[in-house]
Amino acid sequence: MICGVCGTNNPDGATTCASCGSPLQAANGAPQGGYPQGGYPQGGYPQGGYPGQQPVYPGQPVYRAGGNVPIQKREIVTALILSIVTCGIYGIIWFVKLTDDTNVVSGDPNATSGGMAFLLTLITCGIYGYYWAYKRGEILDNYNVSRGLPKSSNAVLYLVLQLFGLGIVAYCLMQSELNKIAEGA
């Protein structure tokens, strides 16, 4: 039985994937053995994918199309003001939240967490921040393409903003995109 999330070939009769832990589907589309008692915990399905959702390429992240992404909408102006008033402390929290929300959008179970991304940025004296900005833009671009929207160049825009010391503007633009996704627009 092939896992619909990661593409791993599992033994017949298995109820969960040996690789990613997702429930396996019977021929009629229902999960083998049913869903876990009480459903899945808040935060979604195991490993960020829906049962039966097939990645375009095995091993690649599964983008959740259709506005069904469980992320929180945030007020951009409030986050910006809090970042300034707290001398950047809220900016760190916002950075972590942006990272975690884009990881949810990508559905990539191996994505770097927000805390780890902040630590890497700190250790590399900001160099990882350039890579981070580009990757966040790439995730949002790929999500929009999966929804049938034309491909944009958010990745390059966020990288350029970061290079010119305007990372906070990139945060605002990323949050705007994430708010659209949270609303299902």
Radius of gyration of the chain, Cα coordinates, nearest whole angstrom: 18
pLDDT score at 41: 44
| pLDDT tens for each residue of 108-122 | 888 999 999 999 999
pLDDT score at 147: 84
Residues in the chain predicted with pLDDT less than 70, given as ranges, are 1, 5-6, 25-69, 185
pTM for the model stands at 0.63
pLDDT score at 185: 59
Q: Domain ranges for the chain, please list them.
A: 1-62, 76-183
CA angle, residues 101, 49, 172, in degrees to nearest 5: 15
pLDDT score at 44: 45
Nearest to 160 by CA among 149, 147, 173, 150: 173
Per the CB < 8 A criterion, the answer to whether 171 and 91 are in contact is: yes
Per the CB < 8 A criterion, the answer to whether 159 and 126 are in contact is: no
pLDDT score at 37: 47
